[in-house]
Amino acid sequence: MSDRSEFVETARRLRTLPEPAPGRKPDLRRWIRVGALAASSHNTQPWRVRIDPEPEAILIQPDDDRRCPVVDPDDAHLFKSLGCMAENIRIAAGVNGYETDTRLEADVPQIRLTFRPAGILGETERYRAIAERQCTRTRYDATSLDDADREALDAAGKGAGVRTVLLEGDSVLEAVVDFVRRGNAAQLGDPDFRRELAHWVRFSVHTALKHRDGLASLVMGRPDLPQWLGESLSGLWLRADAQSNKDAAEIRSSSAIAVITADDDALPGWVEAGRIYQRLALTATARGLKHAFINQPIEVGPIRPEFRRWLGVAPAEPMLMLRIGRAEVAPYSLRRPVTAFLAS
């Protein structure tokens, strides 16, 4: 089997979800495996997980070894990723007949998930969508959302102190293009940012299979190169003008832009924003829509206040931005085995 075939088969196998088994004792390890299909910045998968036996609970904690201190100096994206995992686990528990209590213990910090039998089964469509959700980094078909899409996304994009602003129309997309272009200039003009990003790029399929994390060239639509060669040539493609031209074409091909905002720009707001993103992304996926992050205006400090004013969401803060549209399925990213992050 070629490396590419093995990559595709491994990604497919990872996304074979356990069939729901309502009425059975909670299978926390299976739910954790589903949880790990959550989104994370650069696909760093920055979580450590423990199972607390008394009372039985899942504890999701940050993995400091997987921080991205340049692009995410306050760990906001990291904790959003933990929120994404928590939401996947909540949905997995729900289709198995359990209700989840999700509690942030900020002093540790960790997210504690406890479970109790529920009278009804949970969100089957969202559960199935966990296997299909991906950040699709391609051009979309530029078709418009319909009213049912907007209604579903609006309902999914609300949480405790969190809401989603849906942006549509050519002039709005052009404004987003400009913000993203300025963000690229700042980030890709920073040698530290380029080094951090390149650290997480898996230029060869072989390297991607070895690590099962990071940004695989196959997923990003780039050629398969030996890792050493890709690293040596990374400066040729980590260029602001080239990235901005690619982003502009992809944004213009999108149906809409979704910006997730939170009233609290601190740990509780970050975790809740991650949960709402995951719910929104799964809702979009279940409706046949693709998405990809375009977070540059949120990540660059000097641009973010202007972006917030343009959005008109003050005093809330933008947390995440993604483009949404219709496109073909792209190659899926990999995930580390549960044994790599689950404490024994």
Q: For residue 83, what is the domain's CATH number?
A: 3.40.109.10
Distance CA 236, CA 216 (A): 17
Segment 40-69 shows an average pLDDT of 96
> What stretch of H or E contains 164?
strand 162-167
Neighbour count for residue 282 (Cβ, 10 Å): 23
The reply to whether 17 and 91 lie within a common domain is yes
Q: State pLDDT tens for residues 236-293.
A: 788 999 999 999 999 999 999 999 999 999 999 999 999 999 999 999 999 999 999 9
Q: Is the pLDDT of residue 1 over 80?
A: no
Q: What long-range pairs does 52-55 form, CB within 8 A, spacing at least 24? A: 52/112, 55/114
Q: How confident is the model at residue 121 (pLDDT cuts 50, 70, 90)?
A: confident
Number of domain units in the chain = 2
CB 214 within 8 Å of CB 335: no
Residue 319 burial by CB count (10 A; 0-12/13-18/19+): exposed, middle or buried? buried
pLDDT at 98: 96
The reply to whether 73 and 203 lie within a common domain is no
φ, ψ (nearest 5 deg) of residue 259: -115, 120
Only one residue has tokens 């052009």, namely 174
Residue 71 included in any domain: yes
pLDDT at 222: 84
pLDDT at 223: 86
Q: Is the pLDDT of residue 54 over 90?
A: no
Identify the domain boundary among 134, 168, 183: 134
Q: Is 102 helix (H, G, I), strand (E, B) or coil?
A: strand
Distance CA 187, CA 14 (A): 33
Segment 46-72 shows an average pLDDT of 96
Tell me the pLDDT of the chain averaged across its residues. Answer: 96
Q: Is the pLDDT of residue 148 over 80?
A: yes
**Minimal CA–CA distance to 164: which of 268, 88, 256?**
256
Q: State pLDDT tens for residues 198-225.
A: 999 999 999 999 999 999 998 988 888 8
Q: How confident is the model at residue 324 (pLDDT cuts 50, 70, 90)?
A: very high
Domain span at residue 199 reads 147-325
Q: Of 40-49, 107-116, 218-227, where does mean pLDDT reach its minimum?
A: 218-227
Q: Is the pLDDT of residue 326 over 90?
A: yes
The reply to whether 168 and 317 lie within a common domain is yes
Virtual torsion, Cα 305, 306, 310, 311, nearest 10 deg: -30
> What stretch of H or E contains 221?
none
Residue 166 bridge partners (DSSP): 258
pLDDT at 172: 97
CB 48 within 8 Å of CB 63: yes
* More confident: 35 or 234: 35
Q: Which two tokens stand for residue 102?
A: 């999700």
pLDDT at 220: 87
The reply to whether 129 and 158 lie within a common domain is no
Residue 244's Cβ-side half-sphere holds a number of Cα atoms within 13 Å equal to 19
Identify the domain boundary among 70, 103, 134: 134
